Amino acid sequence: MTARKAQCTPFEKVRVLQRKLYRAAKAQPQRTFGVLYDKVCRLEVLEMAWDQVRRNRGAAGVDGETIEAIEARGALGFLLELREELISEGYRPQPVRRVFIPKPDGRQRPLGIPTVAS
């Protein structure tokens, strides 16, 4: 392992993965990517996704789980549990909570709110 690789942050690791996938797709547009599941299970990918969800500060999904509650318990523990569920293929996404946002013209726009884990 090089010194540079040892110093990579989770964000940098995910960006490297994204660039590799992008380059492969651009080089061979007809290529299909059959095995991406193992990449979703990487802790650095989950950490980056968590960071994006946390910054969004969205509402709770159908399970009522909030970002604040997860942070109070420990986000790393939450991510490790989620990772284990993904690796064992036991993770099943919850239904999306549907709410309606009023539009200026009086109509309503549907909005789907997934759970934090989803």
Give 11's DSSP letter.
H
Give the DSSP H/E element, type plus range, for residue 102. Answer: strand 97-102
Contact 65, 100 (CB under 8 A): no
Question: Would you list the domain boundaries of the chain?
Answer: 3-92+99-113
Would you say how long the chain is, in residues?
118
Predicted confidence pLDDT, tens digits, the chain (118 residues): 455 555 678 788 888 888 988 998 899 888 887 777 888 888 989 999 999 999 988 888 999 999 999 999 999 999 999 999 999 989 998 999 999 999 999 999 999 999 999 8
Task: Look at residue 107 in the predicted model and tell me its pLDDT.
Answer: 95
Question: Using alpha carbons only, how large is the chain's radius of gyration in Å?
Answer: 18
Task: Look at residue 29 in the predicted model and tell me its pLDDT.
Answer: 86
At 64, give phi and psi (nearest 5°).
75, 0
